[in-house]
Amino acid sequence: MSADVNEAKASQGRRNFLKIIGGGVIVAASAGGLFAASRTPTKAIEPWKLALGAKPDFDPRRYVLSHAILAPNPHNRQPWQVDLEEENVMTLYCDLDRRLPYTDPFDRQITIGLGCFLELADIAAKEIGLKAEIEMFPAGEGVPRLDDRPVARIELKKDDVEPDPLFAHIYDRRSNKDPYELGKSVSAENASLIVAEVVGGAIGGDITDENVAAELRKIAWNAMETELRTYRTAKESIDLLRIGKAEIEENPDGIDLGGAFFEVADALGFMNRDEFLDTSTTAFQQQMAAVKEPFGTANGFVFVKTEGNFRRDQIAAGRSYVRMNLKATELGIAMQPWSQALQEFEEVAPQYKQIRKVLQVEEGETLQMFARIGYGKKPEPSPRWAYETRLVNS
């Protein structure tokens, strides 16, 4: 075999070895592992099962919280903290240590995640015949960054409420970061059904036109590449990697790379965090190729924008986004936010401008969420901290 063929084979091997992931980082592969099942971080995904079996009779707030913590949120930081001191009331705070200062310098995305949490709390309360009366930022909004004032006061009251049909999809909702099926696009009709879930004054939109989708893929990838080539923003993700069962169970948050494959790769030294950050290494190049793969499989998008960019707008965007994600789940449609071009750090300014232009975001409006939609196999649930660990004064 010539050196070229050898190199090609080796390169193909590396490609198979290093695959997937969105959200900032790395790899995955067909583990097909003998002991893959035993490496499932069962404890870290237990909160999904606990919510399913939760009973409202003991303290309805606990029923509500066991569902709310299943909300999507940036880098799975789970920034919620809940004070249960006042009877029938949940006071929601942002855990300020769980923010992402480099990629989310104004806590916009973290606030959106808290909006997703509030929407699931509301839907879960309705399911047991309660109204969640939500007062936003009762002591004022933290600007330009969140602070230790409450994000919301949620009072549960008996009321004549209608259950929300989206409740049924809370357990199956996912952010699907895998490549989607090529050649199978979401119809314009289904995309509109997803967008119809937008609430609270936010504005939704969808793109199913192939030419526009191609333009958006390019912008989104350029933004992702920028994030990965910018040391401080890339490091923010790398520092949140949880590789293998032990790390995931110890910290059931961040970017989880579970399964035997990653444990072995880590043990063999292929998961060197410093190399992923060093743009001159092969590991960095492989990372780029792996992260890029899903970008080629995005044929449709949905987005949420708001007229203002106050905290209440960001909360409305979060409430809307999770409803869209739940509706997509109902329709068997996979969804993944791609937030890089929406971010406010300096290096990504060109893509920030470009994506706004393509999506016709007006001057003064803010593009809050942008997500690809498509079809793919449902992934495992992502890890969660049990709600009890997020309580203060319980």
Residues that bind ligand FMN in the complex, under the rule CB under 6 A: 22-23, 72-76, 109, 112-113, 116, 174-175, 177, 336-340, 382
List, as one string, the DSSP characters of 239-276: TTEEEHHHHHHHS--SEEE-SHHHHHHHHTT---HHHH
**Shortest Cβ 258–ligand FMN spacing (Å):** 13
Nearest C-alpha neighbor of 171 from the set 120, 105, 227: 120
**Shortest Cβ 51–ligand FMN spacing (Å):** 12
Beta bridge partners of 304: 204, 369
**Shortest Cβ 175–ligand FMN spacing (Å):** 4
Count of beta carbons in the 10 Å neighbourhood of residue 38? 10
In the complex with ligand FMN, which residue's Cβ is closer, 39 or 319? Answer: 319
In Å, how far are 4, 90, 370 from 84, measured between CA atoms? 65, 5, 34
In the complex with ligand FMN, which residue's Cβ is closer, 64 or 315? Answer: 315
**Shortest Cβ 223–ligand FMN spacing (Å):** 9
In the complex with ligand FMN, which residue's Cβ is closer, 72 or 244? Answer: 72
**Shortest Cβ 108–ligand FMN spacing (Å):** 8
The tokens for 69 are 């913590």
In the complex with ligand FMN, which residue's Cβ is closer, 186 or 304? Answer: 304
In the complex with ligand FMN, which residue's Cβ is closer, 174 or 327? Answer: 174
CB 164 within 8 A of CB 123: yes
In the complex with ligand FMN, which residue's Cβ is closer, 60 or 294? Answer: 294
Q: Is the Cα torsion angle 372, 378, 19, 48 positive or negative in sign? A: positive
In the complex with ligand FMN, which residue's Cβ is closer, 64 or 116? Answer: 116
Which secondary structure element, helix H or strand E, spans residue 125, and what is its range? helix 108-127
**Shortest Cβ 378–ligand FMN spacing (Å):** 10
In the complex with ligand FMN, which residue's Cβ is closer, 119 or 263? Answer: 119
**Shortest Cβ 284–ligand FMN spacing (Å):** 19
**Shortest Cβ 339–ligand FMN spacing (Å):** 3
Cα–Cα dist 197/204, whole Å: 9
In the complex with ligand FMN, which residue's Cβ is closer, 156 or 320? Answer: 320
**Is residue 332 helix, strand or coil?**
coil
Residue type, 373: I
Return all residues near 27 (Cβ < 8 A) that are at least 6 apart: 17, 18, 19, 20, 21, 257, 262, 265, 271, 286, 287, 290
**Shortest Cβ 116–ligand FMN spacing (Å):** 5
List, as one string, the DSSP characters of 31-61: ---TTTGGGS-HHHHHHHHHHHT--SSS-HH
Return all residues near 163 (Cβ < 8 A) that are at least 6 apart: 126, 127
